[in-house]
Amino acid sequence: MHKILLENLPAHFVDGDYVLMVGLSFDSRCLTALSYFPRKRAIQIVGISNAGWGSYNKNSITEFVGLVGAAGIIIGNNAASVMDVADELVEFINSVLDCPEKTLVIDITSLSHELLVMLLGMLNSLQVMNRATLLYVGAAEYSFNAPGDAVWLSRGVRSIRSVLGFPGTMLPSKKLHLVVLAGFEVERAAEVIVRYEPASMSIGLGKRDQSVSEAHHDKNKLFFDRLNKFVKEQDADNQEIHHFEFSCVDPLQTKSQLLSHIDSLKALGDKNIVICPLNTKLSTVGVVLATIEHPEIQICYAEPDEYNAEGYSKPGTEVTIFSLKDN
């Protein structure tokens, strides 16, 4: 894994035939990596539109077409559901990887957590993880249009569902343990807790020295405390709440920390386990890698009603490069 200045990105992609895939969204970071990537090294450039985000994505799609021209392809532009996007992605990946010399480079910065999890699951199922490299542009600031503790990234929850490819093994004879990797979205996390009604749960906090920045960690801790307060208010007399820390910036660390925590829970009894990743996309990659090793674990997704499209984030100056063949 490398974390470098965006301006140095071209130096890391000098040899090979690259197929560049870019998540398209309202997030101002979505085209940042593309603007620095050496496009002469990309034999194909593909935009991935998150399903149902049509009204949010218009500007980024227009900018994407302006950057890459008519040669660019957009997957999911008219998709009615995430399943439609999944079908298009599988078809595209199969066609690309028929040529063994091609390497996938995927900018995951602005993919939804659900689409990211699904995409990684597809690569694993097709046994081509070793031919994919991920890019992630960190945020200099989140929710820049809201002051202090009024930070918000999304509001409301439209639906909660297991992610395609990661249903886990849910046995009626077992109690349920819910694991939440907390971020800035208490409302989404709270709704997942209410709907799953877990017998026990774990709430994860990003480690200070493994956060995007100390300022991000401080905000994360504020929302972590709010989530814990919500949980205690729900059932103050019957609590089995566990806590752990994880890396927000290193998927392999996240994977190791998560599996270590889950292993520590085994002494408390065998339970169905559901994980809801609500922190950075890099930590979500770690969740997927852990779950690939333990397919009995389910990954769930809470779809918001509304995003802070006007002020979601500002791009930072660095990009993380993570090769999936190193996992």
Task: Please name the CATH architecture into which domain 149-307 falls.
Answer: 3-Layer(aba) Sandwich (3.40)
Q: What is the pLDDT of residue 152?
A: 86
Find the DSSP H helices in the chain. Answer: 32-36, 54-68, 82-96, 113-125, 186-196, 214-234, 251-265, 281-293
Residue closest to 32 by CA, chosen among 133, 137, 112, 140: 137
CATH 3.40.50.10770 boundaries in the chain: 149-307
**pLDDT-above-90 percentage for the chain:** 62
Is residue 133's pLDDT more than 90? yes
User: Sign of the CA dihedral 27, 20, 303, 297?
Assistant: negative
pLDDT band at 89 (very low <50, low <70, confident <90, very high): very high
* pLDDT digits 0-9 by tens, 11-66: 999 888 899 999 999 899 999 999 999 988 898 999 998 876 566 677 888 899 99
* pLDDT digits 0-9 by tens, 192-240: 999 999 999 999 999 989 888 888 888 889 889 989 999 988 875 566 8
Q: What is the CATH number of domain 2-141+313-326?
A: 3.40.50
Q: What is the pLDDT of residue 101?
A: 82
Q: What is the pLDDT of residue 273?
A: 96
Q: What is the pLDDT of residue 34?
A: 95
Is residue 183's pLDDT more than 70? yes
Side-chain-facing half-sphere of 305: CA atoms under 13 Å: 6
Is residue 73's pLDDT more than 70? yes
* pLDDT digits 0-9 by tens, 248-283: 999 999 999 999 999 999 877 889 999 999 999 999
Residue with tokens 């699951």: 121
For residues 21 and 100, which has the higher predicted lDDT (pLDDT)?
21
Rounded to the nearest 10 degrees, the angle between the axes of helix 113-125 and helix 82-96 is 40
Q: What is the pLDDT of residue 320?
A: 97
pLDDT band at 136 (very low <50, low <70, confident <90, very high): very high
Residue with tokens 């709270």: 190
Question: How high is the mean pLDDT of the chain?
Answer: 90
Q: What is the pLDDT of residue 10?
A: 94
Distance of CA 10 to CAs 4, 56, 176, 281, Å? 11, 29, 47, 22
Give the predicted TM-score (pTM) of the model.
0.94
pLDDT band at 158 (very low <50, low <70, confident <90, very high): very high
Q: What is the pLDDT of residue 222?
A: 84
Token pair in block for residue 56? 């949010």
Q: What is the pLDDT of residue 52?
A: 67
Q: What is the pLDDT of residue 57?
A: 73
pLDDT band at 141 (very low <50, low <70, confident <90, very high): confident
Supply the DSSP symbol for 75. E
